[in-house]
Structures are given as structure tokens and as C-alpha cells.
Structure 1
Amino acid sequence: MIYSTFKKIKCVVLDVDGVLTNGTILVNEEGHQLRAFNVKDGYAIQYAVRQGLLVFVITGGRSQGVLSRFEGLHVPEIHLGVSDKLTLLKELLVRYGLSLGEVAFIGDDMPDYTCMKAVGAAISPADAVEDIKKVSHYVSTKSGGEGVVRETIEKILRLQDKWHSEVLIKSV
């Protein structure tokens, strides 16, 4: 069931902390927040963008480092400090001419719940909170920060015949 849904996905929406990171936030002496991102997730994101899959980041966090990371991956929509993710998501979908059924949302905790209930494909990391796992169409074998985004994007693009090894090799 989820694989037929993945074939229809035109947009992947990502939470950050607990999805693209393991949820740990380090704070240095100056008060700057530091996060570790998985390079394989980053590669899949930038490849997906080049293949025409829309990737949006919607997070409650407000870190300049998060903004810089996703600008560098050419993510077209990066929204920080968002408390009502579903309202923003609906606004973005109108702008891009998409429906909720064409969206995959990867989330791990309760701020993601309403979006995950509304979209065509709700995906969570293996270490997501139980309420999120219950509403997920697919629970990854990977924990947050350990490649859940890569796994998901690769599955979507393979099912859409857009994950091409020869292109991947040339793009490195």
C-alpha cells in the first residue's frame, strides 16, 4: 500500500530535530546551538531536488545553522520557528498547486502529528514517539539522524524511476 502511495509523491516535507538529527542539541559557551546532520540524508535531498521532487523543511527550531544547511542543499522552502505546521503546509501546497495526497511528511514528535494525519504518506523514524508511529504509514528501520530521509527519498525516487545509478555517479 505505501509503495503505491510513494509513486504519487511530488513533495517531501521534513521536520529537523529527531528526523534529520538524532534530536541532540549541543549548546556552546556563546549560546549557539549545534546539530549533527547525516551526509547521506543531505545527498539524497539535493539529488531529489535535481530530479524535480519538491523538498520542504518545516521546523519549530530557529537555528541559523539549519537555514544554512538547507540553503546549501537548494531546498526551495525552509521555514523555521513554525508552531502551526499544517496551516503553513496547506499554504505552500496552494502556491505549488499540490494536494495533501501528493505529500510525504517525515516527523518524529507531537508537533508533526496534524500534518502526518493529513498527508498521503506519513513516515517516522524508528525512534519516533509512539503516537507518531501509530499515525505513520511507514516506520523506517532507521532512527532520526541515521538516514531515515535518505531511505525514504531513495524509495520514492526508485519507485518513480528517478533514482539512476549512472546519474548518481556522475553527480559526485
Structure 2
Amino acid sequence: MSGINYDLSKIKGFVFDVDGVLSPSTIPLGEDGYPRRMVNIKDGYALQLAVKKGYRIAIITGGKGIAIQTRFESLGIKDIYTGASKKLPILKEWLSKENLSPEEVAFMGDDIPDLQCLRHVGLPCAPYDACWEAKETAAYISKFSGGYGCGRDIIEQTMKAQGKWMSDAEAFGW
């Protein structure tokens, strides 16, 4: 049974921020001044499985860099928006492009720049260590912190509710 108080059968798409959600909120800087992000392998597994199962997935992040693009493209995600200073217009454009209603989408964000998107979707989610305002806005707060499995948490619960988690041989590979 899901711990998410939402009709998960409605969910057809997921949108994620990166820093503080799919990567921990503490990011080491390299000697060249560029951030080095960690990613969670379990989040990655769930993301690529969700893509294979036909869910629409978007990444909308203020972060920049080829590493973000490369990481999420390698998981099969096509809609990757980096350097997003204003996320809501991008979310609305993506919803229109994918022919999705806000009620069919879960968005996970952790900080002030994510609040408008959290307020716009049917299932607003936040990592355990999100800022107070994001937690207050979220319908679901993961028991996992950003970068430590919160992305997998909402994907797994949704797919289980829809009977798609470990439903066939496709689940046992990358």
C-alpha cells in the first residue's frame, strides 16, 4: 500500500528538480569551479524503468553542465531543461507538449524556485530534507532526502499502485 495520499492511478508523468532532489543539496566544487554532483543509482534504476514503461519524465533544473544532460539522457530521458531560472513556464510548455493535465503529473522539488511548479501539479512531492516552504506545499514528503532515493520513492509507489513495478522481465535489467 502506498503512503501517498493521492489517486496514483492518475499519474502518467514525473518531473524532477536535480540539485537537492536527484542529487544531494551539498555539492562539492571542483578545482575548475564547476560543481560535481552525486547521483543515486536506485533513483537511476527507477527513472529508466519508468521510461521503459511509458511514463513521461522531465528534468527541470537551474543547474547547468553537460554532466546533467549526459546522466539523464543515459537513462532514456529526453526532456531535460537545464539553466531554468523560471521553472513554471517550462513545466506548462512540457505539459502541453506531452498532452498531460497537471493532475496526471507528480513534481518533486526541494526549494523556493520549485514552489510554483509544486502548486501547479496534481501530486506535489518533496524530499525529506526540503525547505520548510516546499514541505508545506507538498502533498507527499518522502522519507528519503534529496539524492538518497526520494525520486525512486515516488516512482516505485506509483508503479506499484498501477501494477507496473516488477511486472515483467523488463524490470530485471538496465
2:101 is matched with: 99
Q: Deviations over 1:118-148 (max 9, x none)?
A: 1000010110001100010000000111100
* 1:79 is the counterpart of 2:81: yes
1:115 is matched with: 117
Shift of 1:31: 2.4
- Identity among equivalent positions (%) equals 43
**What letter matches 2:61 in structure 1?**
T
* 1:132 is the counterpart of 2:134: yes
2:48 is matched with: 46
1:153 is matched with: 155
**Kept after mapping to 1: 8 A contact 2:109/2:134:** yes
Shift of 1:59: 0.2
**What letter matches 1:64 in structure 2?**
I
2:13 is matched with: 11
**Kept after mapping to 2: 8 A contact 1:5/1:121:** no
What are the within-5 Å matches in structure 2 for residues 26-45 of structure 1?
Answer: 26-45=28-47
Q: Deviations over 1:81-129 (max 9, x none)?
A: 0111111111111111111111100000000000001100001011000
Superposed CA RMSD in Å reads 1.5
**Kept after mapping to 1: 8 A contact 2:6/2:123:** no
| TM-score, normalised with respect to structure 1 | 0.94
**Kept after mapping to 2: 8 A contact 1:5/1:120:** no
Aligned length: 172
Q: Distance in 1 between matches of 2:115 and 2:6?
A: 22
Structure 2: runs of 5 or more not aligned: none
Q: Distance in 1 between matches of 2:59 and 2:44?
A: 12
Q: Distance in 1 between matches of 2:124 and 2:171?
A: 30
| TM-score, normalised with respect to structure 2 | 0.93
